[in-house]
């Protein structure tokens, strides 16, 4: 689905997507985007920020509040870091600034769809669930649970958590985690990772400001650990 109020731009994107074999729905404004996603359940949303009847950021707020996990690639003429980080904070999976290359846009679309299918267990082999204490990341089902309760994660948050859950207690640098988020706009700084970590802590920690699972290793990066095992080591 392409939500873009510029008819010429929307038509250009549609032609490129259809050339790669995708079925495309065009919508001209934010409210139409929300309603169309609800009824059509697309595999991916290409979302312009500046649109009438609800801008792209408002659309993203609504869709993520409804726990819709479809990948969202945002397009915008805004290029400041704060604008980019706001989009990521709201749950965007990728962000391109205008003007952009349609060929690069297609590459980003392919990457997002491929990763979504892989994380959703599409393929001949399922991937075993990853457990770090009572936190469980299931790449096959694209699900996260903590103490048995379901946690809604954006695709970007899920990729970071899955990578860290596969190697608990390993310290991941920001650069290493950015590699897990390959495809984001090249002008986004390491703060991108910090935003995702902050959002993940809100979801998986009992006290996000005093995290017990997703820890900061000052001057290096972050690690995911089992708080029960950490407590046992500390008491001994």
Distance CA 199, CA 69 (A): 15
Ranges 115-119, 147-151, 186-190, 195-199: which has the least confidence: 186-190
Give the model's pLDDT for residue 97: 83
Alpha carbon separation from 64 to 39, 67, 106, 143, 151 (Å, rounded): 16, 5, 24, 15, 13
Distance CA 4, CA 114 (A): 23
- Residue of 104, 114, 98 whose CA lies nearest to 50: 98
pLDDT tens digits, 137-146: 987 778 899 9
**Global model pTM greater than 0.75:** no
**What is the average pLDDT value for the chain, to the nearest integer?**
83
Whether the per-residue pLDDT at 185 is higher than 70: the answer is no
pLDDT tens digits, 10-46: 999 999 999 888 999 999 999 999 999 999 989 999 9
Backbone φ/ψ region at 143: left (φ over 0), alpha (ψ -120 to 50), beta: beta
Residue 70 pLDDT class (50, 70, 90 cuts): confident
Q: CB–CB of 31/54 below 8 Å?
A: yes
Domains of the chain: 2-119 (3.40.50.2300), 130-235 (1.10.10.10)
Report the pLDDT averaged over residues 72-89. 75
């Amino acid at each position: 689905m392409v939500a873009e109020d510029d008819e010429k731009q929307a038509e250009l994107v549609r032609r490129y997507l259809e050339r790669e074999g995708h079925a495309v729905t065009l919508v001209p404004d934010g409210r139409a985007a929300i309603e169309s996603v609800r009824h059509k359940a697309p595999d991916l949303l290409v979302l312009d920020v500046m649109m009438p009847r609800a801008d792209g950021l408002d659309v993203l707020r609504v869709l993520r509040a409804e726990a819709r996990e479809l990948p969202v690639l945002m397009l915008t003429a805004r290029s400041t870091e704060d604008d980019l980080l706001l989009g990521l904070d709201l749950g965007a999976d990728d962000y391109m600034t205008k003007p952009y290359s349609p060929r690069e846009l297609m590459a980003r679309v392919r990457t997002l769809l491929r990763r979504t299918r892989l994380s959703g267990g599409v393929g001949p082999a399922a991937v075993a669930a990853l457990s770090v204490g009572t936190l469980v990341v299931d790449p096959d089902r694209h699900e996260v649970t903590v103490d048995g309760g379901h946690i809604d994660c954006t695709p970007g948050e899920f990729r970071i958590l899955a990578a860290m859950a596969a190697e608990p207690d390993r310290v991941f640098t920001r650069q290493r985690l950015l590699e897990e988020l390959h495809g984001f706009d090249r002008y986004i700084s390491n703060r991108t990772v910090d935003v995702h970590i902050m959002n993940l802590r809100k979801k998986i920690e009992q006290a996000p400001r005093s995290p017990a699972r997703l820890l900061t290793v000052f001057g290096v990066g972050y690690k995911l650990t089992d708080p029960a095992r950490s407590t046992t080591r500390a008491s001994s």
